[in-house]
Amino acid sequence: MSREVRTKGSPEPFELRPEHCRAGCLLIHGLTGSPAEMRPLAEQLAAEGYHCLAPLLPGHGTTLADLHSVRWPEWIRAAEAGLARLRTQNQSVFAAGLSLGTLIVAYLARRNPEIHGLALLSPAIAVSNQLLPLAPLLHAIKPTFPKGPSGLQAPDARTMLWHYDRWSTHALGELWHLQRRVRRELGHISVPALIVHSTQDTALAPNAAEYMFRHWGTPDKQILTLEHSAHVVTVDTEREKVFSAVSAFFDGRLVTRTAGETEGS
């Protein structure tokens, strides 16, 4: 297949707006993925009154070649545009990211402390591939390489996804640059965060979630450890547990922040 993708899900950006909105939620997908991997979570949140918006990051959802020239600030700008749109229609806004998406929403949170809370799913703050720092140097020699097995256990997981079947070495280099930037800023982020990771995730370094939790700049943080999921926790066997945890965390921060604003008025 010339596009080097699996096309069972849809790569299109989407927006789910319930009739009665309690708050907005920006959902950012992972590297080489698409909004499809965030849709199951978005559908659950929308059913509970969250106005969900999932943009398609530049270089994604088309052909792998389109990813070879994208710089990480372009991903940031796409997410910023989504956040700005949600803010025009919602008094309160949350954000959820998967893998690369966690770095993007953390970057936004540092600059937008009024975000009510974050869900950081499979945080790509540290990955298992020790060659990642060399990606900026290697992309001219080996621009792409195949992905390994996804490790997904849920029988229906692949039917929900749309993603490239190969890695872009250039894009991995951009992830590394953004990763370094976010690491320096973790201690300055004041937005509450729920960090979700799985012990079966072979894409991340074993200590990735703990590193992010330990260095996160606010005491209002939680960590959820899964035991039977692969990297894309939003579609695997424990996804309902993920959805419930994210919903409960957001609900708690929505009530807390709203009460505080009422008392201060």
**For the segment 130-165, what is each residue's pLDDT rounded down to a tens digit?**
888 889 888 888 999 999 899 999 999 999 999 999
Burial of 2 (0-12, 13-18, 19+ CB in 10 A): exposed
Question: For 29-55, how does the pLDDT look when each residue is reduced to its tens digit (9 = 90+)?
Answer: 999 999 999 999 999 999 999 999 999
Of the candidates 95, 125, 89, the residue with the CA atom closest to the CA atom of residue 215: 125
> Are residues 209 and 69 in contact, defined by beta-carbon separation less than 8 angstroms?
no
Question: For 212-249, how does the pLDDT look when each residue is reduced to its tens digit (9 = 90+)?
Answer: 999 999 999 999 999 999 999 999 999 999 999 999 99
**Per-residue model confidence (pLDDT) at position 257:** 63
**Per-residue model confidence (pLDDT) at position 9:** 80
Of the candidates 143, 109, 111, 148, the residue with the CA atom closest to the CA atom of residue 127: 148
Q: For a pLDDT cut of 70, what percent of the chain falls above it?
A: 93
pTM higher than 0.85 for the full model? yes
Mean pLDDT of 86-110: 98
Of the candidates 257, 198, 253, 249, the residue with the CA atom closest to the CA atom of residue 41: 249
Q: Which domains does the chain have, with CATH numbers?
A: 5-264 (3.40.50.1820)
Q: How many angstroms separate the CA atoms of 131 and 230, rounded?
A: 21
pLDDT at 108 over 70: yes
Mean pLDDT of 162-185: 97
Mean pLDDT of 242-260: 87
Higher pLDDT, 140 or 99: 99
pLDDT at 7 over 50: no
Higher pLDDT, 4 or 15: 15
**Per-residue model confidence (pLDDT) at position 3:** 45
**Per-residue model confidence (pLDDT) at position 248:** 98
- State how far Cα 255 lies from the chain centre: 24
Single-letter amino acid, residue 255: V
- Give the contacts of 210 (CB within 8 A, at least 6 positions apart): 223
